[in-house]
């Protein structure tokens, strides 16, 4: 067999293998699944943010022809299912029993023959509520005498959830005492929502004959969800099969377990028929995992142009149930990456969380466990500091960057950064933007009364959790498995524990196997999402697929290659020590004409193995990362402000990313552009807000604004490559870098346009009215 064709492994922009079905409308999303006898679930949701439930009368709904059952919290309580655990060790109501605690909370569920009847029936359920005072901010929640939202929890006498600290308080106080100058920033990272285009939902099918529960559900972490289902419902784990089919986006929204999954499964179990739950958009926006809602206060202690210390105080609005998706080790997620890309000798972080009458969540919207908030704060702070000492924001960053020779670098809050060259990434971004020229243009424009702003963000992210001994979710070690089978004809199936939501795993992971074993990516089928047929692992979020699962795929391939080498030695009648692996084949050193390919070896593995060797060519590898990975980059944004309206327009966006080795550069760039768009959206328009009664403003796509092709700017991309020293391929993960890094760059740009007039802050989303008010305040309005 000739193997002259170049193997399209790592570094090739292979066109996506999964596209074939999507462009033909042949994707298989959960809502495309119809099972015989399937029923439909529709929720009655609370109109109040905080109210006691006095009674529920479902008789008219139950009497409607086509309605099979109405499920209430009371019914679930009889099966101990009215409450479920959250990812943060709290509890969450599946269906409300005593009180409703946020607007949109699930109160009852109708199970009917079709969704139209189910919706009709929901309107016939009568609930008698006694409204209570709604708490809509953590400040209000922690005030003296505030009504206790979680009064059902034993020992819970107020709305406080946790207090947590990291870093060295004493050393930090000392740094501040000796500072030349202290710079402060108070800012709020508003509540936003990942809003994947496909809402959440499931088809739960509990087979009455076998007792097996097959649940097709929108899950970014099917294995973890299976284990949680087993623990919640008391079902034996081998009798639960979670299938996460094609997902129409996730961005963290499909990490938690929602009441819909639980009620649909319980209903299927009780009724003996499959039950489908399709969340509508309003349900998605008002009840499922939101992101951010973080009040932040940061201070930098400055010694000349160097940062000597960082002090941070945070207040988190967690909604009615504490369900942050985060590793158990750190209660504010990975906020303690807050020192960013800077060599800051002393830092101290304090954070408190509070219950409010808002939807629970605290998921990471395209971010790793609160890294976005941390990155935003430090990048806004360094820009503020630069203005205060009269330094150029780029030069101030450069003076304080962790230097390449300092890696591996131990941060003041205890992280070990694996590798980085922050100056190189910033230099490239500045050059691409034409920073010096643009600064001159800005000065000239000001003379003519025009306002241009330039914003930078030189972010560092921490992704790829575990390692498993330290990082766990719900007690489960954060590692991932990969299983690889090479069939006799040299075609392969790779089974993974993670689950793509658009990231292109079927291509990228096939390329990893291609690289390691000399197969073409088209000859590797990647399978994910079915817990009966894939190895265990914690799933896809926090940019962990490539750092963890990608490493598992490389390692299982290498394990197979080791066996392949023994078979090759047998086929070539040579000693293993005399073989070399090059260009996707084993050959005898010094005699390249004596060689064999993986296809020949695969066939021999089932037909002609050496004496004493076990047949077959397959393996499993569980990868427990030794450390997390630290992607970084610099984003540079230029904006122009309309002095007559406060509207700001993006003129340029330059994004230089360093995510280590890029497996599929095309897919990496696609991830970055998508992330930049979501970062822009958060900076400019996305907002889940509430009125004083706890009514959600942002409950549909007319109120919760998402950028279209019309508003979204164009992006200019660049790359530097600093491999991760501990990842087998040198890769770091990239899915979230742009969402983590870019909001600060956009906001910094708008601030920069008005910085000469003393403006230091805008709160996101930076809408025209806020800029207009500032223009008026500083006398620059036209």
Partner 1 sequence: MTETATEQAVYTKQLNVTVNGQARSAAIETRLLLVHFLRETLGLTGTHIGCDTTSCGACTVLVDGTPVKSCTCFAVQTEGSEITTVEGLAPAGGLHPVQEGFHEEHGLQCGFCTPGMMLTATALLAENPNPSETEIRWALSGNICRCTGYQNIVKAVQYAAAKMREGS
Q: Which residues bind partner 1 (CB under 8 A)?
A: 15-16, 18-27, 29, 31-32, 34, 60, 64-66, 112-114, 116-117, 120, 124, 195-199, 246-249, 251, 278, 280-282, 501-504, 666-667, 669-670, 673-678, 700-702, 706, 708-710, 712, 714-715
Residue 8 or residue 16: which is nearer to partner 1 going by CB? Answer: 16
Beta strands of 248-360 (E only): which ranges? Answer: 275-278, 294-303, 306-317, 346-354
Strand duo 106-112 + 39-45: pairing: antiparallel
CB of 688 to partner 1, least distance (A): 15
Closest distance of CB 551 from partner 1, Å? 23
**Distance of closest approach, residue 429 Cβ to partner 1, in angstroms:** 18
Nearer to partner 1, 254 or 563 (CB): 254
Which candidate in 220, 326, 503, 640 is catalytic?
220
Q: 543: closest CA among 718, 420, 364, 287?
A: 364
Q: Helix, strand, or coil here: 257?
A: coil
Closest residue by Cα to residue 531 from 492, 484, 495, 479:
495
Q: How far is the CB of 364 from partner 1 (least distance, A)?
A: 15
**In the complex with partner 1, which residue's Cβ is closer, 1 or 63?**
63
State the nearest-atom distance from the C-beta of 224 to partner 1, in Å: 21
Identify which of residues 490 and 521 has a Cβ nearer to partner 1 in the complex.
521
Which class for 416: exposed (0-12), middle (13-18), buried (19 or more C-beta within 10 A)? middle
Q: Which residue among 106, 198, 461, 736 is the active-site one? A: 736
Q: Is 5 one of the catalytic residues?
A: no
CB-based burial label for 94 (10 Å; 0-12, 13-18, 19+)? buried
Report in angstroms how near the CB of residue 536 gets to partner 1 at its nearest.
24
Q: Would you say 413 or 739 has its CB closer to partner 1?
A: 739
Between CA 722 and CA 693 the distance in angstroms is 50
Instruction: Please state the closest distance from residue 655 (CB atom) to partner 1, in A.
Output: 11
Sequence-separated (6 or more) residues with CB below 8 Å from residue 766: 648, 683, 684, 746, 747, 750
The first and second tokens of residue 391, run together, are 């330094």
Distance CA 161, CA 152 (A): 14
Structure tokens of 73? 């919290």
- Of 487, 376, 266, 535, the C-alpha closest to 384 is 376
User: Can you tell me the distance from the alpha carbon of 456 to that of 439, in angstroms, rounded to the nearest whole number?
Assistant: 13
Which CB atom, from 23 or from 469, has the smaller least distance to partner 1? 23
Closest to partner 1 by CB, 483 vs 657, is: 657
Which is nearest to 743 in space by CA: 687, 677, 698?
677
Q: Which of 292, 366, 561, 662 is catalytic?
A: 366
User: Could you say which of 192, 199, 200, 367 is catalytic?
Assistant: 367
Annotated catalytic, 696? no
Of residues 89 and 116, the one with the C-beta less far from partner 1: 116
Report residue 344 as tokens.
């800051």
In angstroms, the CA 53 to CA 97 distance is: 7
Q: Residue 121 or residue 438: which is nearer to partner 1 going by CB?
A: 121
**Cβ-based nearer residue to partner 1, 68 or 337:** 68
Shortest Å, Cβ 707 to partner 1: 8
CA distances from 659 to 420, 461, 553, 675 (A): 10, 10, 18, 14
Look up residue 32 and give its DSSP letter.
Answer: G
Alpha-carbon gap, residue 136 to 118, rounded angstroms: 31
Question: And the tokens for 519?
Answer: 């197969």
CB of 616 to partner 1, least distance (A): 35
The answer to whether the CB of 109 falls within 8 A of the CB of 271 is no
Token pair for 299: 């201070």
Q: How far is the CB of 653 from partner 1 (least distance, A)?
A: 10
Q: How far is it, in rounded angstroms, from Cα 332 to Cα 349?
A: 10
Say how far apart CA 629 and CA 610 lie, in whole Å.
Answer: 41
CA-CA distances (angstroms) from residue 271 to 113, 266, 586? 12, 9, 59
CB hemisphere CA count around 186 (13 angstroms): 1
Please, is 782 exposed, middle or buried when counting C-beta atoms within 10 Å of its C-beta (0-12, 13-18, 19+)? Answer: exposed
Q: Are strands 579-582 and 585-588 parallel, antiparallel or unpaired?
A: antiparallel
Is the bond preceding residue 408 a cis peptide, omega within 30 degrees? yes
Closest residue by Cα to residue 384 from 767, 776, 758, 773: 758
Residues 496, 17: Cα–Cα separation, whole Å: 16
Contact 240, 224 (CB under 8 A): no
- What is the DSSP pairing of strand 409-410 with strand 346-354? unpaired
Residue 516 Cβ, how far from partner 1 at the closest point, in Å?
24
- Give first-to-last CA distance, the chain, whole Å: 74
736 is catalytic: yes
Listed residue (97, 679, 626) closest to 375, CA to CA: 679
Taking the complex as a whole, the smallest distance from the CB of residue 31 to partner 1 amounts, in Å, to 7
CA separation for the pair 143, 62 (Å, rounded): 43
Q: Which one, 67 or 571, has the nearer CB to partner 1? A: 67
For residue 740, count other CB atoms closer than 10 A to its CB: 32
Alpha helices in 123-258 (DSSP H): 138-142, 169-177, 222-233
Is residue 172 within 8 Å of residue 310, measured between CB atoms? Answer: yes
Nearer to partner 1, 479 or 677 (CB): 677
d(CA 385, CA 305): 9
| Residue with Cβ nearer partner 1 (25 or 449) | 25
Minimum distance of partner 1 from residue 13's CB (angstroms): 8
Q: Catalytic site residue 123?
A: no
Catalytic residues: 220, 366-367, 736
């Amino acid at each position: 067999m000739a193997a002259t064709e170049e193997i399209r492994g790592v570094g090739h922009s292979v066109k996506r293998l999964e596209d074939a079905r999507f462009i033909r409308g042949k994707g298989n999303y959960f809502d495309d699944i119809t099972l015989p006898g399937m029923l439909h679930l529709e929720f009655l949701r609370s109109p109040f943010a905080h109210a006691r439930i006095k009674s529920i009368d479902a008789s008219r709904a139950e009497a409607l022809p086509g309605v099979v059952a109405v499920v209430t919290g009371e019914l679930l309580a009889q099966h101990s299912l009215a409450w479920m655990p959250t990812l943060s060790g709290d509890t969450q109501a599946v269906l409300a029993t005593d009180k409703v605690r946020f607007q949109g909370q699930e109160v009852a569920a109708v199970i009917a023959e079709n969704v139209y009847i189910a919706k009709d029936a929901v309107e016939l359920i009568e609930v008698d509520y006694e409204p209570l005072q709604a708490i809509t901010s953590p400040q209000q929640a922690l005030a003296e005498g505030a009504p206790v939202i979680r009064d059902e929890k034993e020992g819970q006498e107020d709305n406080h959830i946790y207090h947590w600290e990291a870093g060295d308080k004493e050393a930090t106080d000392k740094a501040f005492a000796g500072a030349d100058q202290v710079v402060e920033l108070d800012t709020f990272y508003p509540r936003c929502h990942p809003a994947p285009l496909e809402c959440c939902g499931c088809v739960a099918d509990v087979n009455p004959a076998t007792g097996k529960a097959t649940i097709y559900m929108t899950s970014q972490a099917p294995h973890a969800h299976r284990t949680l289902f087993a623990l919640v419902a008391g079902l034996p784990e081998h009798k639960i099969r979670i299938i996460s089919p094609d997902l129409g986006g996730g961005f963290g929204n499909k990490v938690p377990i929602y009441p819909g999954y639980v009620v649909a499964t319980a209903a299927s179990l009780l009724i003996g028929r499959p039950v489908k739950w399709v969340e509508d958009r309003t349900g998605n926006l008002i009840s499922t995992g939101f992101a951010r809602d973080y009040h932040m206060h940061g201070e930098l202690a400055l010694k000349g142009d160097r940062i000597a210390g960082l002090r941070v105080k945070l207040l988190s609005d967690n909604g009615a149930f504490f369900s942050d998706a985060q590793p158990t080790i750190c209660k504010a997620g990975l906020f303690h990456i807050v020192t960013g890309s800077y060599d800051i000798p002393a830092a101290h972080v304090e954070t408190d969380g509070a219950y409010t009458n808002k939807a629970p969540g605290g998921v990471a919207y395209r971010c790793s466990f609160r890294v976005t908030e941390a990155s935003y704060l430090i990048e806004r702070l360094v820009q503020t500091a630069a203005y205060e000492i009269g330094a150029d924001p780029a030069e101030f960053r450069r003076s304080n960057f962790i230097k390449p020779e300092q890696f591996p670098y131990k941060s003041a809050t205890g992280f070990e950064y694996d590798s980085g060259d922050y100056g190189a990434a910033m230099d490239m971004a500045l050059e691409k933007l034409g920073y010096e020229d643009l600064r001159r243009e800005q000065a000239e424009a000001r003379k003519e009364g025009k306002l241009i702003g330039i914003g930078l963000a030189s972010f560092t992210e921490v992704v790829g959790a575990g390692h498993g001994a330290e990082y766990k979710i719900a007690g489960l070690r954060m590692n991932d498995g990969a299983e690889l089978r090479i069939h006799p004809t040299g075609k392969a199936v790779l089974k993974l524990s993670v689950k793509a939501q658009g990231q292109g795993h079927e291509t990228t992971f096939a390329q990893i196997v291609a690289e390691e074993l000399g197969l073409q990516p088209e000859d590797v089928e990647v399978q994910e999402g079915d817990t009966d047929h894939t190895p265990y692992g914690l799933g896809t979020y926090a940019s962990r697929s490539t750092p963890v699962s990608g490493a598992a795929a490389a390692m299982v391939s290498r394990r197979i290659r080791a066996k392949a080498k023994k078979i090759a030695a047998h086929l070539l009648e040579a000693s293993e020590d005399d073989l070399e692996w090059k260009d996707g084949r084993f050959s005898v050193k010094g005699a390249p004409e004596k060689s064999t390919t993986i296809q020949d070896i695969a066939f021999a593995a089932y037909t002609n193995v050496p004496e004493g060797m076990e047949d077959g060519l397959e393996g499993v590898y569980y990868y427990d990362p030794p450390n997390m990975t630290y992607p970084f980059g610099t984003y540079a944004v230029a904006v122009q402000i309309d002095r007559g309206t406060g509207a700001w327009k993006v003129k340029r966006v330059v994004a230089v990313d360093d995510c280590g080795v890029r497996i599929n550069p095309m897919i990496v760039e696609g991830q970055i552009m998508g992330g930049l768009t979501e970062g822009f959206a958060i900076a400019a328009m996305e907002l889940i807000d509430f009125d004083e009664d706890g009514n959600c403003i942002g409950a549909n796509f007319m109120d919760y604004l998402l950028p279209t092709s019309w508003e979204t700017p164009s992006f200019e991309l660049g790359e530097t490559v600093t491999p991760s020293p501990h990842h087998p391929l040198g890769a770091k993960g990239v899915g979230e870098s742009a969402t983590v890094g870019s909001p600060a760059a956009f906001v910094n740009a708008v601030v920069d346009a008005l910085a000469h007039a003393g403006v230091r802050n805008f709160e996101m989303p930076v809408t025209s009215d806020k800029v207009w008010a500032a223009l008026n305040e500083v006398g620059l309005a036209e």
